[in-house]
A and B are shown apart, each in its own frame.
Chain A
Amino acid sequence: MIAVLRSVYRRDPCLGLGYGLSSFIASVNVWTAASDEQCRTVAGLLLANRKIASVYHELDHGNDLARIECEARPVGDTWVLNGRKEVVTNLQRADALVIFARTDPKPGSRSHSQLFLDKSTVAPDRMRDLPRFPSTGMRGVQLGGVEFRDCAIPRDNVLGRPGHGIETALRSFQLTRTVLPAVMAGQVDTGLRTTVRHVLGRRLYGRPVAEVPYIRSVLVGAFVDLLTVECFTTVVARAIHLLPTETSVYASAVKHFGAKALMDAMNRLSMVLGAHFYLRRGGVAIFQKLLRDLQPVGFGHAARAACQTTILPQLPMLARRSWRTPEAAPDELFRLDADLPALPFDRLAVTAAGQDHLSGSLLAGLDAEGADHRAVSDLAERFAAELRVLADECAELPPGELGVAAGPRSADLATRYGLVLAASACLSVWRHNGDRDPFLGDPAWLLAALTRLSAQQRGEPADLPEHVERRLYAELMDRHEDVRGFDLTNRRVR
């Protein structure tokens, strides 16, 4: 599914969101919590090409789910819904809604539920569309609002146990937090292709722009960052199948890391294009649209800050229960051609309970690799050392530092941990796929990926060894010429 959506995002992210991801976001609540009969109803709708909107957002509360106000009161055999929802994708266009509503006036985490509503069953005076919210990017996607007035929904339309809505959200949105950066990498893929095409045809300072060393570095950097994001998102997507009890942390970490990596890469490419990326006509014009459309990766459907608040409280237990006694994940997690078991929705958990086999694989890899490749080993050892430092810092974090009131140093721990996980994902993908794909088994890209992650961790500029940069630039040019993707699959994209 990620592969299909990514190719849509490569061409038009609005189509990907409006006609793909949006219904997916609503449906994961259903697959996670609903009865078999409800699942069949929703599957029927989706198979008939109809849309479902995920109706959570209220402007006053953002990602703060526990304070959502739109209220459903139990009256007889119905829920009576009152309140407003704002800035919701496809609200007006959708045929059915999954509504996150308060079903208990008490404050706390057992006071909300998801309600399924087929719009065709609602009397027009019970539900009023609010004016569309115009947006800077993703302009083709309708952001709507709605006001419910004594709108009756059958009691049976609650998804899962009443009051368990926050639990359902935290469990099911692990899928969407993973899929979002994975598919939006497609936009950066096109951004990179557009930039390469532009610099190849342009001469400045008496030489082709593509031969300017700085330009080469930026292009190779974007290529490497794409591969890194893809390693991380692919491994987490596979973890949802293979290690579902641990993905509460990974899904938030990959969204937090991936969103920033993609936006940074795209912004650096825009500097290569200079004034051209600002133009709305000509061969490069697609770039400014993709750049605008990329912004939601940072705030859309769980802001980076919200991801951080999922990770932060879990750090002390991860440190105490996993990082100090690392255990490796099973090999299938990283073997891209290994079959996956069906997705076990019932095993997704609200926390990882301190379990983390992905960072455990970082250390296990070091033992296995030995001195095979000195530079890779050195870099891997650096991340292993960083994990030990993180373990010491996090194990004893005072409880006051785990909440919304956490200081910037604590907040930074989540970022640093994300870099370690990304490094471990890259290392493991490299180690387990060389037999299938010679490029993936070549240490050049891995060396570049680890060097760039390590530079971020230290706050230094990333300086790739000359031979590594040359090797990756040649690969980039080959793929450009053959119109192959700048991703792990390395397939032709047209």
Chain B
Amino acid sequence: VSTAELYETLLRSQAEGMCAILGRTSIAFLGFIDLPALHWLNGNGLYVLFALMSAVGIYATASIPYNEKRTPLAK
């Protein structure tokens, strides 16, 4: 493993810490929408939010600039 790869792995560990904060933030967000979400859109509010968040996840992953072999994807 080269020094550059180790450096990048370390950076990604820091990214994990920051992303984990975002993940935990979602709990607070859920706290705000908890009971109202049961009544939104005829009781479907939570599932619509699931669909929206999944769409965000799909876009984020599909457009990520690296694949699993760590080579830049062809544009």
**Is the pairing of A and B real?**
no
Residues in chain B within 8 A of chain A (CB atoms): none
Interface residues of A (CB under 8 A from B): none
